[in-house]
Amino acid sequence: MNKINLNYFTRQNQVGLSELKSCQIRLILLSLNSFLHSLHSDRTMKKPNKRKIINDPVFGFINIPNDLLYDIIQHPYFQRMSRIKQLGLSSIVYPGAQHTRLQHSLGAMFLMGEAIAQLRMEGHAITSSEAEGARACMLLHDIGHGPFSHTLEHSLVSEISHEEISLIMMRKINEEMDGKLDIALDIFTNQYPKKFLHQLVSGQLDMDRLDYLSRDSFFSGVSEGIIGSARIIKMLNIYNDQLVVEAKGIYSIEKFLVARRLMYWQVYLHKTAVAAEKMLMNILKRAKELAGNNVELFASPALNYFLYNEVNKQIFLNQQEALEHFALLDDSDLICAIKVWSSHADIVLSELCRAFTNRQLFKVEVGTDLIDESIRQQYLKQYQQYFGVSISEAEYFMGDETVSTDTYSAKDDNINVLYKDGTIKDIADASDMLNISVLTKKVEKHFFCYYRL
């Protein structure tokens, strides 16, 4: 009897322990589930960290100082610039020049921050809203560039510049951001009371130029373009609401002007790059002509819109569809189309695309005068016979381009030098090295580009 009772109580105790363990497990699972739920809620409700640091190869670490600038960088219009090369087709000559408009815009924003900090140190009042607006301007100043930057500026959309398109896109972003770019727009359009802020955005010594000379020199490997951007910014000051350079910075400005002149003729207007640009322009011109005749062409939806429609300034301003398609257009649309067009039935389009893809570029003759018309006619006859095309079609295998540039023009904007006694001189008068005639002289060259048979 005692043995039976002992076994009975042992079994009851085992059942109780089992139920207790089961209860404990359920409590643990409930607690774990509650913890995971709260953790998920915290993550979904927690705002993303917008204080990012970007490692830039030219200027080092670049901070994104506030939420607005971060939101601009994250906008699709801005991210599109990561797919547009800063130097267009210059990588054909300088293979390292693969940097993008996005990188340039970030660098320009960084330099604007440095310039504002310097001017504040000089005792000039610049509010946080003004600083934010000026930085936003630098992020967005090139947002209206089309594929390959300046190369196709007037080929896809006529009668409108990339600056005007930038303004349209900035206003669109401003609507989406409930007017947070109002100050930036006023600075960009030179409507803001403090005029020196616009000079920092667009002027002889703007942050755009300070970045692109440094960046383009770095990536192309052309050391003649190296400038002392940090030194120039440290020499900036304001006098009568105008940006000036302190007298001790004259030599840095001289170096800046010389570097700019050399970069234009050695990189931006290099004859091989000009030849490649002319070939690309002729390709697009031929494609648009074929599209106008209802010939079917491979193209992305964005490129297709501009091929089969004549888009001018009025259409761009009044039809939202034009802006939407433009915002989707970048270098890859053109590159992909050109590869496919290399096997198109049209001999003119296919031959130009094949040559462009394989770097069989136009040959270039550079001179101070236009090419003699008899030479042009001679080449046209050769192309007619070789390709079996009409004279108008033969025109696509050649082209003329007149390019000009001047290092410094006081008509556009002055670089004023401030002396300790308060006097102001234009850099052309203040410099003891650079003659005014050299600074302001416009150099013009004529490029005759033609297909090599």
Task: Give the 3-state secondary structure of the chain.
Answer: CHHHHHHHHHHHHHHHHHHHHHHHHHHHHHHHHHHHHHHHHHHHHCCCCCCCEEEECCCEEEECCCHHHHHHHHCHHHHHHHHCECCCCHHHCCCCCCCEHHHHHHHHHHHHHHHHHHHHHCCCCCCHHHHHHHHHHHHHCCCCCECCECCCCCCCCECCCHHHHHHHHHHHHHHHCCCCCHHHHHHHCCCCCCHHHHHHHCCCCCHHHHHHHHHHHHHHCCHHHCCCHHHHHHCEEEECCEEEEEHHHHHHHHHHHHHHHHHHHHHHCCHHHHHHHHHHHHHHHHHHHHHHCCCCCCCCHHHHHHHCCCCEHHHHHHCHHHHHHHCCCCHHHHHHHHHHHCCCCCHHHHHHHHHHHCCCCCEEEEECCCCCHHHHHHHHHHHHHHHCCCHHHHHHHEEEEEEEECCCCCCCCCCEEECCCCCEEEHHHHCCCCCHHHHHCCEEEEEEEECCC
Token output for 399: 């082209």
- The reported pLDDT for the residue numbered 2 is 45
User: 416 pairs with which residues across the strands?
Assistant: 244, 426
- The reported pLDDT for the residue numbered 14 is 52
- The reported pLDDT for the residue numbered 437 is 56
Could you give the CA distance from residue 223 to residue 360 in angstroms, rounded to a whole number?
28
Could you give the CA distance from residue 356 to residue 284 in angstroms, rounded to a whole number?
12
CA 31 to chain centre: 52
Mean pLDDT of 102-131: 98
Give the closest residue to 59 by CA, choosing from 8, 124, 110: 110
Using the predicted structure, report yes or no on whether residue 218 has a pLDDT greater than 90. Answer: yes
Strands 242-246 and 424-426 turn out to be unpaired
**58-81 pLDDT, tens per residue?**
999 999 999 999 999 999 999 999
pLDDT band at 414 (very low <50, low <70, confident <90, very high): confident
Strands 242-246 and 236-239 turn out to be antiparallel
Could you give the CA distance from residue 64 to residue 110 in angstroms, rounded to a whole number?
9
pLDDT band at 32 (very low <50, low <70, confident <90, very high): low
Least confident of 8-12, 138-142, 202-206: 8-12
Answer yes or no: CATH 2.40.30.30 is held by domain 272-404.
Answer: no
Using the predicted structure, report yes or no on whether residue 301 has a pLDDT greater than 50. Answer: yes
- The reported pLDDT for the residue numbered 403 is 87
Using the predicted structure, report yes or no on whether residue 4 has a pLDDT greater than 70. Answer: no
**Choice between 11 and 423, residue whose per-residue pLDDT is larger:** 423
For the chain, the C-alpha Rg in angstroms (whole number) is 31
Give the closest residue to 106 by CA, choosing from 148, 131, 141: 141
pLDDT band at 410 (very low <50, low <70, confident <90, very high): low
Could you give the CA distance from residue 190 to residue 447 in angstroms, rounded to a whole number?
36
Q: Do domains 53-270+413-430 and 272-404 have the same CATH topology?
A: no
Give the closest residue to 218 by CA, choosing from 406, 81, 112, 59: 59
Token output for 412: 């556009």
Extents of the domains making up the chain? 1-34, 53-270+413-430, 272-404
Using the predicted structure, report yes or no on whether residue 165 has a pLDDT greater than 70. Answer: yes
Token output for 218: 């770095």
Does residue 417 contact residue 425 with C-beta atoms inside 8 Å?
Answer: yes
**350-405 pLDDT, tens per residue?**
999 999 999 999 999 999 889 999 999 999 999 999 999 999 999 999 999 888 88
Answer yes or no: CATH 3.30.590.20 is held by domain 53-270+413-430.
Answer: no
CA distances from 1 to 7, 9, 13 (A): 10, 13, 19
What is the rounded average pLDDT for all residues in the chain? 89
Mean pLDDT of 223-228: 93
Could you give the CA distance from residue 146 to residue 58 in angstroms, rounded to a whole number?
24
Token output for 366: 């550079």
pLDDT band at 431 (very low <50, low <70, confident <90, very high): confident
Q: Is 303 exposed, middle or buried (0-12, 13-18, 19+ CB in 10 A)?
A: buried
Could you give the CA distance from residue 273 to residue 220 in angstroms, rounded to a whole number?
13
- The reported pLDDT for the residue numbered 44 is 45
Could you give the CA distance from residue 356 to residue 335 in angstroms, rounded to a whole number?
10
The contacts of residue 271 (CB under 8 Å, 6+ apart) are 364, 366, 447
pLDDT band at 38 (very low <50, low <70, confident <90, very high): low
pTM: 0.87
Q: What are phi and psi of 420, to 5 degrees?
A: -60, -30
